[in-house]
Amino acid sequence: MKKKVFLSLILIMFLFLVVGCDVKKENVTPNKSTSSGFSAVIYFSATGTTKSIAERIAKASNSEIIEIIPKEKYTSADLDYNHDCRANREQNDSKSRPLIENTIDISKYDTIYLGYPIWWGTIPKIILTLIDTYDFTGKTIIPFCTSGSSGISGSVDDLRKYNSNLIINDGKRFSLSDSDEVIREFVGVNMNEEVKNIKAFINDNEYIINLEDNETAKKFIEFLPLELNMSELNGNEKYANLDKTLPENSANPGRINAGDMMLYGDDCLVIFYKSFDTTYSYTKIGHIDNLPDLGNENITVKFEN
CA distance 199 to 227: 12
Res 245: pLDDT: 93
Res 82: pLDDT: 85
* CB-based contacts of 144, cutoff 8 Å, min separation 6: 53, 54, 57, 113, 114, 115, 152, 171, 172, 173, 174, 186
* Averages of pLDDT over each 10 residues, the chain, 305 residues: 49 47 38 50 96 95 94 94 90 95 93 95 96 93 91 93 92 93 83 70 91 88 90 97 93 94 97 96 93 95 90
User: Which part of the chain has CATH 3.40.50.360?
Assistant: 39-194
User: Which part of the chain has CATH 2.40.100.20?
Assistant: 197-304
pLDDT tens-place string over residues 215-257: 899 889 888 889 999 999 999 999 999 999 999 999 999 999 9
* CB-based contacts of 299, cutoff 8 Å, min separation 6: 202, 203, 229, 230, 232, 238
Res 90: pLDDT: 94
**In one letter, which amino acid is 54?**
A
Q: Are 271 and 209 in contact (CB under 8 A)?
A: no
Q: Which fold has domain 197-304?
A: Cyclophilin (2.40.100)
pLDDT tens-place string over residues 33-42: 333 347 899 9
Res 27: pLDDT: 35
pLDDT tens-place string over residues 180-218: 889 988 887 666 555 578 899 999 899 999 888 888 998
Q: Which CATH number fits domain 39-194: 3.30.160.40, 3.40.50.2000, 3.40.50.360, 3.30.1330.10?
A: 3.40.50.360
